[in-house]
Structure 1
Amino acid sequence: MNDFINLEAFKSLYNSDPIYIFDTNIYLDLLRFSKKASEKLIYKYKDLQQNIWVPNQVNVEFQKNISIVESQRITNAKKAIMEAKKSINTCNESIMKQLNFFIRYKFDNIQEIVSKVTTDLHTLKETIEDYNEVNVISQSSGFLDKQDINDFFNSVYNLSENQEFPIIKLYNIYKNGDIRYKYKIPPGYMDDPRNNSDAKKEGVSIFGDLVLWNEILDYGKENSRPIIFITSDVKEDWFLLKNGKPIAPRAELLREFSEITNGNEICILTSEKFIEYIGEVSQFDNALILAEMQKEDFADIAIGNNKDIIREKMIDWINCRDHVYLVPFNVEINKVTDIEDLTMVIQDVAVDVRDDVYYRVTFQATAELVGAYYDENIKRFTLNDQRESFRFNITISFKRERVTDFVSNDIFRKDIVDIEIESGEFERCILEEVELESKRGTFIKPNDNDYDIYNYMMSIWDKYNKENKMERAEALVYIDAANYFNYPLLEINRGFTLVQNRATKIELSLNEIDALALKRFADIGFQISGNSCFFDDKKYTLGEAYPLPESMKQCFPEGGKELQVDFTYEIVRIEDKYVQIKGKTTLPKGTKLIINFASKELMYRASSQVNVLDNGRFISEVFMKGSNQENNSIPDGWYTLEIIVPITSVQPESVQVAFGRKGKNLIGKYVSYDKIMGNIVGLAETIEIQK
C-alpha cells in the first residue's frame, strides 16, 4: 500500500461501525489547540464515544504527560508576556534615544513629553502584567481547561474494557522490541536513540509505541469489527514518508495486523487526514481545525497574492503612526514615500481561530526605502528621494473569512481582508550582500558584476542571432560570455537572470534559477554531464548547481485524492460548414479549459475558453473561417486539436482544492510535470475534417 485509503473507502469504513483508537497525542493535542478548535474536536469525538476504545498504554502516557503539556503551554504564554514586556523596554529605549536631541538642546516642555512616554509605557507594562495574572497564570484562557480534557478522557477510558499487560508479557515485548528496533521493524524504533539522535525517551519507555501496538493486535484478535487508528506521530516508524511528509501507513504494520488477527481490517491515519475525512462524511465543521494544521500553506499563498497591498500598508504604517524614526536613515527624514525592490521570506506563522481565521505572520525582508523630509513650517518637501537599503523583520496580521456552507472544498474565501502591520525592526544593509533563506532557496540581489554580465550578453546577441537560429544563438552567447568572464555557465546565467528578473519584477531564488537553467541548457543543445557540459563536441564548465528547492520538487498526490485526468470528445459539423467540439472529462465541474483548433497549412487558428459543466461535459464555441456565417465555412483538411487546462492558480477555489497545490493530485497520460507550474494538463491530437 503506497497511499492512505481514499475518501470513498473511508465512507464505507465509517458506515461499517468501526472501532476508533486514538493515540495518546490525539488527546494531548486538545491542550495544544485553541480553545474553540479543541471544543469542536471534543464535540465530534463524543459523537464517536461509544465506538472509541482506549488502550491501557494510552492511559498510562496520558496521565504521565497531561501536566507536562499543560506546563509547556503556560510556559509559552509566559514567554510571550515576557517578550511583550521586553519589547516595551526596547521601545522606551528607542524613543528616549530620539528624544535625547530635544533634551540636549533644552527644548521647551520636553520633560513633560519624557514623563508622559515613561508613564504611558509603564501603564502598558502594568496592563500586560495584569493580563498575565488573570488570563495566563490563573487559567490560560486561550486554551481549553486541563480538567475539561481530563474529564473527557476519563469518560472515554471508563467505557473501555482492557487490562494492563502482566509484567512477564511486558518483558517479552521489551525483549522482542530490542530485536525489532535493531532491524528497524515498525512501530516505535524512532523512539530509540540508537536510530534517532533526536529521541528523548530512555529505558523501557522507548517501547511505548510497541506496547500500544501489541494491545491493538490483541484487541483485533478478539473483535471482528474494523479498526481505525489515528495518531499525530508522523515519524517513519508509523508512516511511509515522501519529502518528509506521511503518504501512507507502513505496509509492515498492515500486514502484521492482518496475519495476527486472521484477516481483520485496520486503517491507520494521521490526525489531519482523519479530521479531513470525518468532516467529509459527517458534515462536521472541520475548517477551523484544518486551518491550524495547514496555517503555513495558507499564509504563503496570502502573502504571495497580496505583496503590493502589504507594501502600501508598510508605507502607511511607517508614516501614519509616526514609526518613521524606527527606520535608521543616514539623514533626517520624516516620511517614507516608497518601498522598492521588496523581497519577503516568511519566518513564522501564528493562527488565531475564531469564527473566521486570523493570521499573524513574521517575515524577513530586504528593500530600498525612499525617504523624504516635509517641513510643516513652509509646507513643502526640503528633501526628496533619499534612497537607502534596509534589512528588516515585519509582523503583519490579516483575516481569511470562512465559507459557512459546510462544503469542505471551499473552506475559506479566496481573498484575505483586514491586512495590518503590527511591528517592524529595520537595519541598514547592502542589498547585494544580503542572503535571505526560505523553502524556495537563497534570494540575493544583483551586484555590479551581474550587470556587467547582462550588458555584455545583450551587446553580443545581434552578432550571433544574425548567423544562427535562435536556440543556437542563445547557446553561443552563453559560451562567449563564459569565456569572456572566465565563469562557469551557471554563474553566467545567474548574473544575467538576476538582472533580467529585477527589470521584470520576477523573484526567483538562486536554486530556482539554476533548476530552470539546467532545463534550458538541455533545450538549446547542451549535453550535461555532472558539472560539465558539451556543445558542438567541445567541453565547457557548467559549474555546481544550487540544490533543487523544496518548492520545485515534484509533489505527489494526497492519499485518496488522486484525480485521474481523461478526455473524450467528438467533432460536430454544423450545416456542413462549421465545427464545434463537444466532450466529457473527469475534471471537476467549473474547471477552466482552453480549446485550440488550428491548421498551419490552411493558416487557420481559433480558440475557445470554456468551463466544465455538470457530469464533466464541455462544449466549445462554433469555429468558423471568419465572421461571416454565410460563406466562411471551415475548409476540409488536417487540423490540430488542443485541450489545455490553465495552471492551478487561475482555477476556481473548489477546483484548486481538487487539483492540490501546483496540481499535485492530477495523474494520467495527459499530465506532465513542469518545475515552475507543477503538474500541467494538455491534450494534442491531429484530426481530419471532411464533409
Structure 2
Amino acid sequence: MKSNPLVKINELIEQDYLIVVDTNVLLGLYRLSPDYADFALKCLEKIKSFIRIPYVVALEFSRHNRKLYKDRQLSIKNSISDNLTMIENHKKKVLNAIAVLEKRNFPEIDELLNSVGACYDKATSLLDDYFDEHSVLTLINDTWNSDLPEDFLDELQNNQQIMAPLELSEIYGICDDGEKRYKKENPPGYKDAKKKDGIRKYSDLIWWKEVIQYARKSRKNIVLVTDDVKEDWWTIDEKGQYLFRGELITEFEKETKIRANQNQGTQLESLKLIPFISSDFYTAVANSYNIEKADAIGLAMNLTDKSYISHIQEKVFDDILDDLIFSGTQYVNDTVTYVGTEGIESWDLEDCEFLGYEIESRDGNTIYYRLNYSVCLSGYSHDYWGRDEDTKAVILSEPFYHEVKGEISVLVCREADLLIDYEEDDDYASAEIEEGDLSEVVYKDYQYEPEPDPEAYTTCSECGKPLSVYNDFNGKCLECAALED
C-alpha cells in the first residue's frame, strides 16, 4: 500500500479511524523550515482530537526534543549569515583566480577585478535588502514563542491520548520475539539491530505492537504516519513512491481479527491500516480541510548544513582518496621541477586536513556542497630507458622524488527531503574531485647523487682520508698511524 496524499482524511475520521504518529514525525517538526513547520503544526492541530501516541513514541520524543529545539533556534539565526558568508567566500576565490592573470601579463586586470568585485558586492546588497524587506517572514522572525511540539504533546497527554505503557513482561516478550524476527529480517525494526543495543534495539517493534494492541482493544482502524523510510518499514517503487511493507499490513489485519472462540462466540473482522509519510499526510490533511499548503520542496529544506558536513567530511575524503592517489599530476600546478616520462604511478598520503565547505548551489531538493581539504602527497616518477635485450624487461632510471602540498575541492551532491534522519544523515548521491591546486614542496633527483664507495666506511681521524678494511689502523690511515710510531 502506498503513501497517498490524495486520501481524504476527513472521510477516514468519519469512518472511525484514529491517527497514530511516530517519533520521527514529531521530532521532524524541529528540522523543517519555520514556514513549513507552522503548516505541519496547523495540520496536526486540525485533527488533534483523533491522534493517539504510543507510549514508547512519547518517551523517545522527551529524550530528544530539548536539544532539537535549541539547535533549531541557532540554525534559523545562522541562516542569514551563512548565505552572506557563501557569497564572500566565492568572491575571494574568483578574485584570487583573476589576480593570477596579472602575473601572466594579461592587460587591464585592475579594471576587471573592480568590475567583478562590484558584482559580488551587488549580490550581497541584494541579499541584505531581501532580508530587510521580508523581515516579517518566519524564515527570519520565528513564530514559535515556546517549544510548540512539546506543548502539543503535553496537551495530548492531558487529554489521555497517550497509549498506556505495556507491562514489563510484555516488553521482554516482544524483545525475545524481535531477536527471532530480526534474524529473518522480518519488519519492522531489524535495520536498527546494529545501530542500537538493549531494549532500544527493539523500540520500533515495541511501538508497532502497542499500535496493534490498542487497535485490537479499541476496535479502531488506524492511520499510521511514520517517516522511518528504511526498508524495514517502506520500499520505493520504480516511480519513486513509498510502499508500506505488505508483511506489516498482513500482520496488522491478522492480529486485529478476533475469532469467535476468543470473544464469547462473536467473531470480529480485521481492522484496516492506512500508512503515510508525513509530507503526504500533511498534504492530505490540507486538502481535506482547506488548509493553505506550504511549498514542501522549497520550505521543508533542512537548515543544518554544518551538522550534515560534520557527518560526511571523513566519508567523502575516503571515497575520493583512490582518485586522488592515482591522479598523477592532474591536480598539481606548474611548480613541478621535472616528472619522469613514466609519470607518477601513485601518491602516498602524508597528511590531510578538512578546511571547510561552501554551498555551491541548490536546485529544488538537490544541494551541491563544495568541501575543501588541505593535503600533502609524496610519490616517485621515472624516466623510461628502454628494455633489456635479453629479458625484455623495462629499464627505468633512478627515481625522482616529489612531494606536493595544497588544496583540493570536492563537489558533493545531496538529495534532501522531509524524510531525512538529520541526526544521522551521511548520505550523498555523488562526490568527486572538481579541482586541485597542489604545489611542489620537495623535489629530489636520486640519479645525480654520488654513489657511496662501499669500501669507504669511515675517515681518518687525523687527515680525513677515507678508510677501508685495507688501511684502517685503529681509526687512522696507514700514513698517520706510521707517524705515531
- Please, what TM-score do these two structures have when normalized by structure 2? 0.48
Tell which has more relative contact order, 1 or 2 (C-alpha 8 A, sep 6+).
2
> Which structure shows the bigger proportion of residues in strand conformation?
1
Pick the structure with greater CA Rg. Answer: 2
